[in-house]
Amino acid sequence: MKFNRLIFPIVLLFMPLYISAQSIDSLYKRADSFRELFSTKYYNGISAIEAIEKTDLFWYLTQTPRGMEFMILDAVGKNIKPAFDQEKIASLLADYDDLKKPKPYNLPFRHVVINKSVDTLKFRIEDFNYIISLKEYSISREPVRNAQNRYWGSVQRENVNRKVKSPDGKKEAYISEGNIWVTDLTTDESKKLSYDGSDFEYYSSDINWSPDSRKIVSCKYRPGGDRKLNIISSSPKDQLQPKMFSYDYPKPGDALPIRYPVLFILDEDKQIFYDVPNVEQQYSLGRINWHENSEYFTFHFNRRGHQQYVVYSGDVNGKLYPIVDERADTFIYYNKISTNWLKNGKELLWLSERNGWSHLYLYDVPSGKVKKQITHGEWVVKEVIHVDEAARTVIIKACGMDKGEDPYLEKYYKVSLDNGKLIALTPENANHSVTFSSDFKYMVDSYSRVDMEPTIVIRTVADGKVIYEPENQPDISKAVEAGWRMPEVFSAKGRDGVTDIWGVIIRPVDFDPNKKYPVIEYIYAGPHDSHVPKSFSMVHRCSELSELGFITVMIDGMGTANRSKAFHDVCWQNLKDAGFPDRIAWIKSAAEKYPEMDIDNVGIYGTSAGGQNAMGALLFHPQFYKVGVASCGCHDNRMDKMWWNEQWMGYPVGKHYAESSNVVNAHLLEGHLMLMLGELDNNVDPSSTLQVVDELIKHNKEFEFVMLPGAGHTDGGKYGERKRRDFFVKHLLNEKTPNWNK
């Protein structure tokens, strides 16, 4: 008995202390109220902003103690004033019976269009466009035209019935029975230009006239596969019986359409075919553009597998030559391809990762040779914003140039095309959110970090000089007084012990360093971008979850974008990696500094690619991750959309696809898993999750599965969020969850 009395306090000493006297119900209420409590106490920040065309003015939306207010910022006059009388707008809208009586400082719209005279206001509410004269405050509205609701995954239909006028307005081209025709609009006579088209291999309705109206480029088009995604709505709102929906949905390895560029010279009755190398291996062929002299056109060729990307020029004599021939041993991220043709017709500004970092190159168009590399160094050009040919300068958005700072922070620079000289337009150690005036003379810069509230300034684009700093700067003091806690930016070495990995730590408002807190990671390791927030916000994705008694983290591991090419290439044919060795090393380093982080109890959750990642954590790293919630996951890259998965996993489909599959590896499951799925998900095939469910059942694994009727590609919505919270509370805090059925 004496021995037991001695050991009991020692055992207590090492037991993690999670929840104090607060009840679990009160923690849920605190999490639910977090957004409303703190976001409403953040004033004077910019939540939407646009330049007013052909002026030095900007309109923006901000929150003040009164509510949401529209303001106009004058870059030249250096002042801010209300954009319009919001009480009068609310009064005008109140006359419409179908609108609930709007509150002046919570108007039912968040985007406006203001004309250059600042006397007319336009905005949209649901199915109507509203126009208001700001002189006499009169209002009118008209129904929104029924725009075609085009599904994002739809295959481009190239045999549509459309007529394309020539630049001189005298002719009209169209496709009939697979062939291309031209009608002379002065005589109404039609002429058939091609005879080799058919219903099965036809000319594309993407018809491209030369500027002199004497030539046409179209593509001979051979359709590919016709895979459909069929999904069932079990509980439609307009009828009792289920409904089925069908969508175009090519998957990795499916047959793709093939396009062959063809030139027609009308006056000479000529039809010229171009011998494009590897044309039958194309992923895409398009972006056809004529040079202004009508002597040649250009087009882009993306070879399937994304290891070669070519910009070709075709002349009127049938000669084809490459201007740019970009190649990579892993992948070319083709969605980041940036093409800026200079109007002199002889130069092309091109963005490439060929030297291991994303940089600008200036090409000589006639020869197809690189004249010079414009930018250099171990940093990243993210985007070309504006090219000033007269001044021979280009404005770029870039990151990672200033050592010792978070390498993901976006900054703006002006670069000389002649000597590569750089002018830092936004030098502060922050993430810069910039809006330019339409003439690129002025810029509104709201700069901040996750751990630093915003500062708003007006700069000249010429040199970045601050010419106006508004008096009413963003103010978080009231939120801080109410208990809001600033997130922490944290960096640590990755798997190689050399590379810095960056992330964010979020603690609950009543954080006590003497307690232990389970750690939950929100993950999205999609290689198309980096995903940890860099700008200030009162509420981040996992802020509310922290309030239940967790420390939450977000991390960008290797395999994501916006660092070096080598950093990015980790994902190639290996999406199951998801940067986990870096993430685990980062969390361990954070716990060494902050022992209140209980890394014996680590959870993880994510949606879409993040859903694949969250389940993968439990399959491939069960010694570290103990609890996971995966929503609408892309659990097998062979089941998901082609364009995203072939970009990273490559073509042809090989065994590496199976090696990264959560379905194939479902038998490895350890720990606690919840799967969540929207039955109407038309982004990731719902069968991807259901096949995981099937495989887990085959292996007699324990897990939870939540199907959400009527939901699409979702993290679960309000109900899913509650289920996710319950799952982590139960398995990480070892607490009973509220009785929701009481």
Instruction: Give the end of a domain, one of 293, 326, 359.
Output: 326
Q: Provide the domain limits for residue 68.
A: 48-143
Residue 597 lies in a domain: yes
Domain final residue, candidates 120, 143, 166: 143
Residue 36 lies in a domain: no
Classify burial at 201, counting beta carbons within 10 Å of its beta carbon; exposed 0-12, middle 13-18, buried 19 or more. middle
Instruction: Name residues of the chain where pLDDT drops below 70.
Output: 1-22, 147-150
Do residues 600 and 524 both lie within one domain?
A: yes
Tokens of 181: 């025709």
Residues 552 and 461 in one domain: no
The reply to whether 5 falls in a domain is no
Whether residue 609 is found in the same domain as residue 687 = yes
Does residue 616 share a domain with residue 493?
yes
The reported pLDDT for the residue numbered 147 is 60
Check: CB of residue 158 under 8 Å from CB of residue 204.
Answer: yes
Length of the chain: 742
Instruction: Name 240's Cβ contacts closer than 8 Å, sequence gap at least 6.
Output: none
Per the structure, how many domains does the chain have?
4
The pLDDT of residue 18 is: 58
Percent helix, strand and coil across the chain, each rounded to 5?
A: 15, 35, 50
CATH number (domain holding residue 510): 3.40.50.1820
Q: What is the pLDDT of residue 149?
A: 67
Judgement on whether residues 677 and 630 belong to the same structural domain of the protein: yes
Cα radius of gyration rounded to whole Å, the chain: 29
Same domain, 588 and 706: yes
Same domain? 661 vs 533: yes
3-state secondary structure of 122: strand
Same domain for 524 and 614?
yes
458 occurs within a structural domain: yes
Domain harbouring 364, CATH code: 2.120.10.30
Do 298 and 336 lie in one domain? The reply is no
Does 184 lie in the same domain as 282? yes
338 close to 387: Cβ distance less than 8 angstroms: no
81 and 64, same structural domain?
Answer: yes
The pLDDT score that the predictor gives to residue 506 is 98
Same domain, 432 and 561: no
Structure tokens at 599: 């890394």
Q: Could you write out the DSSP letters of every residue in 364-398?
A: ETTTTEEEEE---SSSEEEEEEEEETTTTEEEEEE
Is 594 part of any domain? yes
**Residues 114 and 120: beta-carbon distance below 8 Å:** yes
Domain final position from 143, 164, 188 = 143
Tell me, yes or no, whether 15 lies in a domain: no
Residue 21, domain member (yes or no): no
In a domain, residue 32? The reply is: no
Residue with tokens 């798997």: 495
